[in-house]
Structure 1
Amino acid sequence: MADYDFDFELLKELTETSGVPGYEDRVRDIVRREFEAHTDEVRTDAMGNVVGTIEGDSDYSVAVAAHMDEIGFMVRHVTDEGFAQLDALGGWDARVLKAQRVQVHTEDGDVTGVIGSPPPHTLSEEQKEKKDEVKDVYVDLGLDGETARETVSVGDLVTMEQTTVEMGDHVTGKALDDRVCLFAMLEAAKRIEDPDVTVHFAATVQEEVGLRGAEALGVDLDPDLAIALDVTVANDVPGFEAGDHVTKLGDGTGIKLKDGSVITNPKVHRRLRDVADEEDIEYQYEILPAGGTDTAGFQNTHGAKPVGAISVPTRYLHTVTESAHVEDVDATIDLLAAFLATETGEHDYTL
């Protein structure tokens, strides 16, 4: 295992806690706890975004955003036989759902279920060739129909059940998207003391269903500069050409140049690069051909804002085995903290 400096137990707590879009309550409680210990003011808006503010010596403000929600499901029907059918909250590839254990979050507590997978030798050729879709997924609750309908209701939330563990030089589990970046933001907040500018650390909601929390928050905060944190693709695995890797685990934090929703401000990403060089922090450039982040939410809501983004390279996104390199996590925390500590409000980001 590679050396790392961060609090693994807090990362484990964040990733293993459930929180789908619009229902981030359990994660929000952890965030508020951490913000209350390390920021000057904590507030929550009507959508559920949480902001921890560290007051600076000037009116200039920087917003840092990482989203709390993970992809999950909502129960849309419980069959007479006791199986729950699902509606997706966020972008799922139905192929990865087979033979997975889930948690159904009911008003009376969490209920375990499994998404079964029939033995392959019992399937017809037609069944083998059928395309997997979320609408065809059934959760086996281990209950008869009547008991299942009394226990689980339409509208109950469903998340994948998985632990977060160390694996070689990596950490792996569910919901690293985006809890590993939420974690990096919380860790950086601990390091910021007496900044020249006011820093708003924002834990946003509903990113996985359209950047909704960040877009609303961008209006409320009206920052002078916004930096978003999110995971990014690391396709550095067998089956991909080097040009399609996007990022590579172990090569450092990602400085975003573009994704499917935003082209970052060149002066912002160059200053991120310069800070990384000065502090001897490992980094790599990220050019993500598809997919969006909260970066765009701030740019779209309150006029022309300079925006940048820092990314944690992550393999196997939107599965229960998302994996990141511990040294990349450290580098992300280091770069964010160093960037904020050196922000004076006097850097010219206009183009």
Structure 2
Amino acid sequence: MNNLCHFDFLKQLVETPSPSGFEQPVQRLIRQQLEPLADTIETDIMGNLIALLKGTGGPTVMLAGHCDEIGFMVQFVDDKGFIYFGAIGGVDPHLSPGQRVAIHTDQGDIAGVIGKKAIHLIDSKDRDTVINLKKQYIDIGCTSREEVERLVSIGDPVTFAVGLQPLQGRRVTARAFDDKMGAFVVTEVLKQVKNNGGMAADLYSVSTVQEEVGLRGGITSSYGVNPDIGIVVEVTHATDCPDVEHNGIGRVELGKGPVIARGANVNPMLFRLLVETAKAENIPVQIIGVPRATGTDANVMQLSRGGVATALLGIPLRYMHTPVETLDLNDLESAIRLLTASLTRIHHHTSFVPV
């Protein structure tokens, strides 16, 4: 990022563990960023972090990005000290064998590896077979169940043990850009609006929880905030790498700007506002068509109470739900600029009723 402290904050976010249901460490980090700026900040019973910047009597706007990530959970320890686990969210069982992991316990992180039989010992007919997740196990170097149980508890969350790594240019890779990157963007937008002197609308910046297991925090936070207008910031599949087809998604490229979704899940007036703002501010954007409900917090936000004028802003991401998710920092900066500029165009009289 242009500002080193912004990049450091992003790095802290993605490297702080927060599997669905265990988001407290990353929420504390976001609270530290927003507490000096927000008029009010609270954590609801689900764990959503809700910061409010009061406006001058305009409508209520909610920005949302979910802070939870996929991961694993300790479920069973055998007598030899091998730990069996289940998935938190959509984990691809192709990826996990042979990976380093961290088990997040009350006493601190415990390093481990997900075991993988050497290729020399696998029959040739079985070498392309995916190992069922229930048969995979974590080895932390212990030799007995008793030794493991002194360190690890049933229900402890687990994440891949990788952090943020710069690639070439402005591209970076990490686990959990989905969607801590979205929580980062909505946090930075509130900072920008505050630094710019505020806005007409009441602005809620919400870091939601448990999206990866059913949009759960998005449901409760949307109901609690009861916004007139809502914008969700999420990742979206980049199609500019060899093994992803454009058909069914569209042309989505890293570094070409954030992606504005268009379709039934998106209010057409709010879509128009984002597109017109991007054009006026010379901010690059990409557009995709989504002919059905999206699998994001925008889906439940739109349907909350009597309905919310909702938009979905995506950040192009390669290799989603892997330990090597990859994005371009330029797209993050463009998303922050676009949202900040768009919010200043929402006034007391602005209507989002489709006509």
TM range (shorter): over 0.9
CA apart distance, 1:42: 0.4
CA apart distance, 1:187: 1.2
Distance 1:317 1:242 in 2: 16
Q: Residue 11 of structure 2 corresponds to which residue in structure 1?
A: 12
CA apart distance, 1:4: 4.1
Distance 1:319 1:210 in 2: 19
Q: Residue 326 of structure 2 corresponds to which residue in structure 1?
A: 323
Q: Residue 39 of structure 2 corresponds to which residue in structure 1?
A: 40
What letter is aligned with 2:153? S
Q: Residue 178 of structure 1 corresponds to which residue in structure 2?
A: 179
Distance 1:132 1:340 in 2: 48
Indicate whether 1:120 and 2:122 are aligned: no
Indicate whether 1:350 and 2:353 are aligned: yes
Q: Residue 98 of structure 2 corresponds to which residue in structure 1?
A: 99
What letter is aligned with 2:221? L
Q: Residue 225 of structure 2 corresponds to which residue in structure 1?
A: 221
Unaligned runs of 5+ in 2: none
CA apart distance, 1:245: 5.7
- Aligned residue among 308, 312, 315 for 2:311: 308
Q: Residue 57 of structure 2 corresponds to which residue in structure 1?
A: 58
Q: Residue 257 of structure 2 corresponds to which residue in structure 1?
A: 252
User: 1:63–1:225: 8 Å Cα contact kept in structure 2?
Assistant: yes
Unaligned runs of 5+ in 1: none
Length-normalised TM-score, structure 2:
0.93
CA apart distance, 1:328: 0.8
CA apart distance, 1:51: 0.7
CA apart distance, 1:37: 2.1
Distance 1:31 1:177 in 2: 16
Q: Residue 75 of structure 1 corresponds to which residue in structure 2?
A: 74
Identity over the aligned pairs, expressed in percent?
A: 34
Q: CA RMSD in A?
A: 1.7
Distance 1:8 1:140 in 2: 34
Indicate whether 1:197 and 2:201 are aligned: yes
What letter is aligned with 2:95? V
Number of aligned residue pairs: 346
Distance 1:291 1:297 in 2: 9
User: 2:249–2:288: 8 Å Cα contact kept in structure 1?
Assistant: no
CA apart distance, 1:20: 0.9
1:42-101 deviation digits (Å, cap 9, x = unpaired): 011111111110000015100111111001111110111111111111001111112211
Going from structure 1 to structure 2, the CA distance change for 1:291 and 1:110 (only over 3 Å counts) comes to farther
User: 2:101–2:159: 8 Å Cα contact kept in structure 1?
Assistant: yes
Distance 1:233 1:93 in 2: 16
Distance 2:212 2:244 in 1: 25
Going from structure 1 to structure 2, the CA distance change for 1:39 and 1:141 (only over 3 Å counts) comes to same
SS at match of 2:287: strand
Going from structure 1 to structure 2, the CA distance change for 1:113 and 1:291 (only over 3 Å counts) comes to farther
CA apart distance, 1:197: 0.8
1:287-346 deviation digits (Å, cap 9, x = unpaired): 358961111121222122110011111100001110111111111111111111221142
What letter is aligned with 2:313? I
CA apart distance, 1:159: 1.0
Q: Residue 237 of structure 1 corresponds to which residue in structure 2?
A: 241
Going from structure 1 to structure 2, the CA distance change for 1:171 and 1:345 (only over 3 Å counts) comes to farther
1:116-165 deviation digits (Å, cap 9, x = unpaired): 22221220134324333322221111111231132212111111111102
What letter is aligned with 1:24? E
1:224-247 deviation digits (Å, cap 9, x = unpaired): 111111111113111333435641
Distance 1:324 1:345 in 2: 36
1:101-123 deviation digits (Å, cap 9, x = unpaired): 11111122210011122221220
Distance 1:239 1:205 in 2: 31
Distance 1:265 1:107 in 2: 44
What letter is aligned with 2:216? R
Q: Residue 284 of structure 2 corresponds to which residue in structure 1?
A: 282
CA apart distance, 1:39: 1.4
Distance 1:115 1:244 in 2: 34
More off after superposition, 14-23 vs 232-241: 232-241
Going from structure 1 to structure 2, the CA distance change for 1:75 and 1:240 (only over 3 Å counts) comes to same
User: 1:248–1:313: 8 Å Cα contact kept in structure 2?
Assistant: yes
1:225-282 deviation digits (Å, cap 9, x = unpaired): 1111111111311133343564111111111124xxx621111111100010011001
SS at match of 1:37: coil
CA apart distance, 1:181: 1.4
Length-normalised TM-score, structure 1:
0.94
What letter is aligned with 2:283? I
User: 1:231–1:313: 8 Å Cα contact kept in structure 2?
Assistant: yes
More off after superposition, 195-204 vs 97-106: 97-106
User: 1:264–1:309: 8 Å Cα contact kept in structure 2?
Assistant: yes
Distance 1:178 1:39 in 2: 22
SS at match of 2:52: strand
